[in-house]
């Protein structure tokens, strides 16, 4: 993830809100779920949110090898402001491990920022383009055109209600002809207030519209989460 060092700054900008989902008559807006909900505020200090990341290229010779690893968000409470948590984010383990990042006074789940940063960075690796432009278009479409559907999620043997947010931020982009056939990339975030940290599963699909060009899929799933219906 190329921009991980800025995680704390991005989180402060996008995760400052505190609205809740309970009782909504209709599916809430994607921005409300993702950026205005205190995902981790109720969690007990000492809680670890462990996500499994799976990278699945269709052609390893072209796109690099497949791999699976863990990303862990450790919840801390000591020294945090009221209603907030301090967190330590560890991306990957072993040979893939990155330096752990400690972020103070969070109420949103920093795993969202990890995912969004990866999504834009990996799209850019495949499609090219300017990072700031791609990030701005992703953010704009996430707020303006993301689809929100009610779903049922399998979590630790139980079925819980949630929402699936789907966005294809570049499919109608004015610069889509320059995106090497990857303009149809789709990003899906599944959430539930019944699941610790809200974020159940995040999927990035990078299909290609050109003949014989490989595709990529990346899936990040919270431990204990099964199927989504």
Domain coverage including residue 91: 4-228
pLDDT of the residue at 6? 44
Contact indicator for 229, 164 with CB cutoff of 8 Å = no
Distances (CA, A) of 119 to 18, 124, 126, 151, 206: 25, 9, 11, 23, 10
Rounded to 5 degrees, what are φ and ψ at 82? -55, 130
* Total domains present in the chain: 1
- pLDDT bin (cut points 50, 70, 90) of residue 27 is confident
pLDDT at 5 over 60: no
pLDDT of the residue at 229? 79
- pLDDT bin (cut points 50, 70, 90) of residue 25 is low
Give the span between the Cα atoms of 189 and 148, in whole angstroms. Answer: 10
Place of tokens 């889509």: 176
Contact indicator for 218, 122 with CB cutoff of 8 Å = yes
Tokens read off for 42: 């109720």
Give the span between the Cα atoms of 51 and 72, in whole angstroms. Answer: 6
Give the span between the Cα atoms of 118 and 130, in whole angstroms. Answer: 15
Neighbours of 61 (CB within 10 A): 8
Give the span between the Cα atoms of 176 and 216, in whole angstroms. Answer: 18
Distance of CA 142 to the CA centre of its chain: 12
Full-prediction pTM beyond 0.85? yes
Strand duo 216-222 + 225-228: pairing: unpaired
Half-sphere exposure of 106 (CA within 13 A, CB side): 30
H or E element: which one contains 61?
helix 60-63
- pLDDT bin (cut points 50, 70, 90) of residue 28 is confident
**If you compute the radius of gyration of the chain from its CA atoms, what whole number of angstroms results?**
17
Q: What is the pLDDT of residues 193-207, one digit of tens each?
A: 999 999 999 999 999
Q: What is the pLDDT of residues 141-176, one digit of tens each?
A: 888 889 999 999 999 999 999 999 999 999 999 999
Distances (CA, A) of 40 to 4, 118, 149: 20, 21, 22
Rounded to 5 degrees, what are φ and ψ at 87? -135, 155
Query: What CATH number has the domain bearing residue 131?
Result: 2.40.360
């Amino acid at each position: 993830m190329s921009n991980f060092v800025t995680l704390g700054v991005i989180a402060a900008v996008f995760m400052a809100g505190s609205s809740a989902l309970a009782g909504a008559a209709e599916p809430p807006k994607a921005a409300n779920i993702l950026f205005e909900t205190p995902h981790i505020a109720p969690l007990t200090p000492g809680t670890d949110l462990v996500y499994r990341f799976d990278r699945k290229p269709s052609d390893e010779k072209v796109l690099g090898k497949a791999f699976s690893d863990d990303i862990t968000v450790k919840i801390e409470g000591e020294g945090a402001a009221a209603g907030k948590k301090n967190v330590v984010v560890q991306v990957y383990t072993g040979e893939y491990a990155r330096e752990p990042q400690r972020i103070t006074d969070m109420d949103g789940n920093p795993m969202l920022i990890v995912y969004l940063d990866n999504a834009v960075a990996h799209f850019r690796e495949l499609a090219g383009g300017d990072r700031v432009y791609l990030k701005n278009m992703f953010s704009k479409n996430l707020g303006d055109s993301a689809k929100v559907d009610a779903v049922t999620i399998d979590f630790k043997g139980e079925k819980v209600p949630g929402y699936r947010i789907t966005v294809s931020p570049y499919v109608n982009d004015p610069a889509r002809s320059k995106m090497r056939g990857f303009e149809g990339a789709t990003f899906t975030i599944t959430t539930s207030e019944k699941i610790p940290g809200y974020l159940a599963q995040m999927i990035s699909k990078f299909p290609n519209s050109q003949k014989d060009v490989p595709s990529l899929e990346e899936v990040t799933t919270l431990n204990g989460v099964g199927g989504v219906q």
